[in-house]
Amino acid sequence: MAQKKSSGSGKEKANAKATRRVPMRDFSRSLPMSLLRAREAVMRQFRPSLRRHDLTEQQWRILRALAAIDAIEVTELAHTAFLLAPSLSRILRDLEARGLIERKTAETDLRRGLVSISDKGLRLMEVVAPSSEAIYAAITRRYGVRKLAALQDMLGALEASLAGMGQPEEAGE
């Protein structure tokens, strides 16, 4: 470290060097940061409860998605739980090892895998769901039912707005 030095009267100039260069919006108010902080504020409420049952947020998402249906293909599950295929692959391996889910291969297409929640998985959900719902209710109460609904609508609209904006892909990649 330290092959940096300001020659001559550069002390003050070096001090001002990085100040206010490359003008950009106020960083902390960018949309990605707002969304990130808001989501973190919400998840911070849930994580301790999940952690007590040795579940991560993603594992819980998968169990919830599975609890609503009988069986589902891996690709479709990835879409539902909003996970990338590689992440899902690893998590399913783990959940299966823990006996919380069951897997089999589709009979008509050996490439496709079918996933379903196990009885053990359902029992775990029955234990975790109440406190999870209670936390969600508390959040809703604090923020306001109407406001929450309005926020969800605006978030959905944002998604929809951006749906068309495909990758900029500057013609020539």
Looking at residues 128 to 167 of the shown chain, list those that interact with a copy of itself (rule: CB under 8 A). Answer: 129, 131-133, 135-136, 138-139, 142-143, 147-148, 150-152, 154-159, 161-163, 165, 167
Task: Find which of a copy of itself, DNA, none residue 168 binds, CB within 5 to 8 Å per kind.
Answer: a copy of itself
Q: Does 29 participate in binding a copy of itself (rule CB under 8 A)? A: yes
CA distance 76 to 166: 22
DSSP letters, 90-122, are HHHHHHHHTTSEEEEE-SS-TT-EEEEE-HHHH
Q: How far is CA 159 from the centre of its chain?
A: 15
Which residues 48-87 are close enough to bind a copy of itself by CB under 8 A?
48-49, 57, 61, 64-71, 80, 82
* The token pair that represents 154 in the structure block: 């605006």
- What are φ and ψ of residue 109, in 5° steps? -150, 105
* The token pair that represents 72 in the structure block: 């589902």
Q: Is 40 in a helix, a strand, or coil?
A: helix
Pick 90 or 158: Cβ nearer a copy of itself: 158
Residues in the site for DNA, rule: CB under 7 A?
Answer: 40, 43, 47, 51, 56, 58-59, 73-75, 83-94, 103, 108-113
Task: Find which of a copy of itself, DNA, none residue 111 binds, CB within 5 to 8 Å per kind.
Answer: DNA
